[in-house]
Chain A
Amino acid sequence: MLKELGARTQYVRLLLLRLPFEAIRNLIYAVFLKFSFEAIQDMDNKRLCLVCAGFLAANIFLFSYNGTVWRFFGVFYARLQKKLKVFIITKLLDKPLEEIDNLAGGDVLMRLNQDTQMAAAIYAEPWNLVFLVNGIANLILSSLLFWLFEVKLFLITIVFVLPFVLISSYVFAPLLYSLQNQIQKVGADLTDMYTSYINMADTVYLYDCSDFFLQKIKDKNLELRRLEIKKTLFKALEAAGIPLFGLTGYLVLMFMGADRISAGVITTGSLLYAFQLRLGLISASTMIIKSITTISVNKAGLKRIKELTHLS
């Protein structure tokens, strides 16, 4: 889609700008915890102040950088939506008249508004493609650092994270995609009903079927609400699973780390460093899972636009 709209190069640039943020932030937090707690253990106040100052400076830089990059993304999102709407209209006008006649008003409106927003969101909104790529980068860096720190602790953490990643990708994501497709279809039907009710007000009046029409609208609305509730429920279930898996892994890591501290193998600072890397793994997994889910939901909008415009 981006290629057709002439926005691919700009998007890749933006993606690369945002790519290192999560990974670097996680590394900074891990290093800060390690050095600050080691300084506390050694009762070295000067070193502690230096570590804190470095941490503060790094955070200020990181968050200013992040804000600037998101500002660019905001402009890109607005421009992409505009380009996409113009593209859809142009494609519509290029269509043979018989195809245009077969399109319902509600359907076209839905594609122009909601579907366009959803399709553009895949590329420029958080928890979509941007966070998916960031999550992968963060996951790779955190895994690498954790592996270098201690293979056994890394593998235990992975054992608690992996099942949930798989469940989310293979159970929740397809389910939510299918639900969103249904929501889009029912939403378009509802818009059709509203437009028909307004456009055919004379027929509705003549045949005294206002109550019947409104009941149909009410039923369709209820169907839409039910689907939306279902979607929220599945999203909540998925969200509840993340801390559950995360907490179990945390407890195991704490007990194993305590043994190693007692044995003098690692310092408290090093355990906290490991905890931060573990947190990086979990937050990266969460980013990937949530992004895959949101992308699969938003893909329903993109799919509908592709149907209309034959975009690649």
Chain B
Amino acid sequence: MIKIENLSYSYGEKTILKNINLTIPDGKKIGIVGESGCGKTTLIKLISGLYKLQSGTILAEGKTAVVMQGNALFPFTIRENITCGHPVPEEKIWEAVKIAQLEEWINSLDQGLETFAGVRGDNVSGGQAQRICIARAIASDVPNLILDEATSALDIQTSSKLIKALMEWWQKRQKLGCRQTLISIAHRKEALDFCDEIYHLDGGCLC
């Protein structure tokens, strides 16, 4: 569960978030839409603990995995980028790879998961990098998952397949008793069709 109470945040004189109140029960999928610069990413950074709170409270049970906008690949192998050095079972890695629609591509690589996927981008396109980041979040197996424009670099077909696979995985986990919370952020409402509830962030207020 994630509970936000009276949350406000400003950059200097400019107030970005004004008195936000939101409760996301376990097992819920919520979407947040809003224009560029309206404070979506700031809200995520506050929820995930990357930014310190200025006023209000946030209660997030368990750890949070976030898929940020853009390429956040480490200069390591694909496997290391997915596991982040943690002992993740092989089947879990491949499950994440399949959901992120990376299986076919990784199997076509000579070195498979051991292929270097660093900042040079020699082997990895922007879309593939984004999907590796999604696989990383899935493999981290944490209770709260946040996707910040996580499929922006993907074509519509791959994006739909990924969302479908992600939802199937999410439902399977719900049945097994892992009530994972999912927050997805997008510019457009249509990209958040899979969410239970969609909130609009406008003028620093959530409605």
Task: Point out residues on A near B: beta carbons under 8 Å.
Answer: 101-107, 189, 192-193, 195-196, 200, 202-203, 205-209, 211-213, 215-216
Q: Closest Cβ of chain B: how far from A157's Cβ, in Å? A: 53
- B50 to chain A: closest residue by CB: A202
A104 touches B120 (CB 8 A): yes
- Residues on B with beta carbons closer than 8 Å to the beta carbon of A104: 75, 118-120
- Name A's interface SS: helix
Across-interface contacts of A200 in B (CB, < 8 A): 72, 74
Cross-chain pairs A/B with CB under 8 angstroms, 9 sampled: A102-B121, A107-B120, A192-B75, A192-B118, A196-B118, A202-B50, A202-B68, A207-B140, A212-B80
* Residues A103 and B50 in contact, CB atoms below 8 Å apart: no
Cβ-defined contact, A202 with B121, below 8 A = no
A213 to B68 Cα, complex, angstroms: 19
Q: How large is the interface on B (under 10, 10 to 19, 20 to 34, 35 or more residues)?
A: 20 to 34
B98 within 8 A of A: no
| Chain B 17-70 residues near chain A, CB threshold 8 A | 45, 48-50, 63-66, 68
* B residues neighboring A (CB under 8 Å): 45, 48-50, 63-66, 68, 72, 74-76, 80, 84-86, 118-122, 136, 140
Chain A positions within 8 Å of B85 at CB level: 209, 211-213, 215-216
Contacts of A213 in B (CB 8 A): 74, 85
A206-B64 contact given A189-B75, A192-B75, CB 8 Å threshold: yes
A193–B86 CA distance with the chains assembled, in angstroms: 18
Nearest CB on A from B83, distance (A): 9
Q: How far is the CB of A261 from chain B (nearest CB, A)?
A: 69
B188 to A: closest C-beta gap in Å: 25
| A196 and B45 within 8 A (CB) | no
Q: How far is the CA of A212 from the CA of B140 in the complex (A)?
A: 15
Q: Which of A106, A192, A202, A207 meets B45, CB within 8 Å? A: A202
Would A192 and B68 count as touching, CB distance under 8 A? Answer: no
- Considering the chains assembled together, what is the distance between the CA atoms of A105 and B136 in angstroms? 23
A206 in contact with B119 given A189-B75, A212-B85, A216-B76 (CB within 8 Å): no
Name the B residues within 8 Å of A216 (CB-CB).
Answer: 76, 80, 85
Evaluate contact between B66 and A196: CB separation under 8 angstroms.
no
